[in-house]
Structure 1
Amino acid sequence: MNASDLIASRERLAYYDSQSIELPRALTPLEAWNLMMAQPQPILRWAFRVRDAISARFGVKRIGGFSGRRRDGVQVGDRLDFFLVEGVSPDALLLTERDRHLDVMTAIRTEGARLTITSSVVVHNAFGRAYMLPVGPAHRVIVRGMLARLRKSLR
Structure 2
Amino acid sequence: MPPNSLARAATARIQVLAPAKELDFLDTQSLVLPVQVTPLEAWNIMQERPLPGMKLAFWLRDTISACFGVRRTGGFSGRRHTNTAVGDKLDFFLVEAVSDRILTLTVRDRHLDVMTCVSSNSGVLSITSSVKTHNLFGRIYMLPVGPAHNLIVKSSLKRLQKELEQRRTGGR
Partners in 2 of 1:95 and 1:146 — Cα distance?
Answer: 17
Partners in 1 of 2:25 and 2:51 — Cα distance?
Answer: 22
Taking structure 2 as the reference length, the TM-score comes to: 0.87
* Equivalent residue, structure 2, for 1:150: 160
* Mapped pair 1:124 → 2:131: no
* Equivalent residue, structure 2, for 1:23: 33
Distance 1:151 1:120, change over 3 A: same
Give 1:79 deviation, angstroms.
Answer: 0.3
- SS of equivalent residue, structure 2 residue 114: strand
List aligned pairs for 1:5-154, cutoff 5 A.
5-154=15-164
| Counterpart contact for 1:87–1:94, Cα < 8 Å | yes
Partners in 1 of 2:163 and 2:26 — Cα distance?
Answer: 27
Higher relative contact order (CA 8 A, sep 6+): 1
Partners in 2 of 1:21 and 1:61 — Cα distance?
Answer: 32
CA RMSD of aligned residues (A): 1.2
Mark the runs of 5 or more structure 1 residues left unpaired by the alignment.
none
Mark the runs of 5 or more structure 2 residues left unpaired by the alignment.
1-7, 166-172
Partners in 2 of 1:103 and 1:72 — Cα distance?
Answer: 25
Partners in 2 of 1:150 and 1:112 — Cα distance?
Answer: 17
What is the percent sequence identity of the aligned residues?
56
Count of aligned residue pairs for this structure pair = 155
* Equivalent residue, structure 2, for 1:2: 9
- SS of equivalent residue, structure 1 residue 5: strand
Asked which structure has the greater CA Rg, the reply is 2
| Counterpart contact for 1:106–1:119, Cα < 8 Å | yes
1:10-34 CA distance string (max 9 Å, x none): 1210000000011211110110011
- SS of equivalent residue, structure 1 residue 26: coil
| Counterpart contact for 1:30–1:73, Cα < 8 Å | no
Partners in 1 of 2:127 and 2:75 — Cα distance?
Answer: 18
